[in-house]
């Protein structure tokens, strides 16, 4: 998994560690594409044993806002990237 950094370097993540290694780079890349995005941890949902991580995005090439939830940041981001790609946003990871 590689994601271009702002300085033109390519950051390589450890496949054993997951997508969360490049989460901030993904958010920055989306911003450069005109997509406003964020990642949130909901303490109440965490305490209640529900999926506590939420990714949200809107703008740019997205026809409407989108949201993906997960019980880990890895699962949340993987679901988000998959959904973004259905809208033609080819997230480089």
CA atoms within 13 A on the CB side of 23: 20
Enumerate helices (H) and strands (E) in the chain, giving the number of each.
3, 5
| Mean pLDDT confidence for 66-76 | 95
pLDDT value at residue 70: 96
pLDDT at position 4 over 50: no
pLDDT at position 89 over 70: yes
Q: What is the pLDDT of residues 11-22, one digit of tens each?
A: 454 555 678 788
pLDDT value at residue 93: 76
pLDDT value at residue 6: 47
In eight-state DSSP terms, residue 93 is -
Contact by Cβ (8 Å): 81, 19: yes
pTM of the model: 0.78
Domain boundaries, the chain: 2-86
Alpha helices by DSSP H, 16-68 = 23-32, 43-47
pLDDT value at residue 92: 86
Angle (CA) 59 61 65, round 5°: 40
Q: Which residues pair with 76 in a beta bridge?
A: none
How sure is the predictor about 9, in pLDDT bands with cuts at 50, 70 and 90?
A: very low
Residue 9 neighbours by CB under 8 Å, 6+ apart: none
């Amino acid at each position: 998994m590689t994601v271009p950094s702002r300085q033109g370097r390519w950051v390589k993540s450890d496949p054993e560690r997951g997508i969360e290694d490049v989460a901030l780079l993904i958010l920055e890349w989306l911003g450069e594409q005109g997509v406003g995005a964020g990642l949130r941890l909901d303490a109440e949902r965490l305490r209640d044993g529900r999926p506590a991580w939420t990714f949200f995005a809107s703008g740019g090439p997205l026809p409407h806002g989108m949201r993906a939830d997960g019980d880990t940041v890895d699962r949340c981001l993987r679901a988000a990237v998959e959904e973004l790609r259905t809208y033609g946003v080819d997230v480089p990871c």
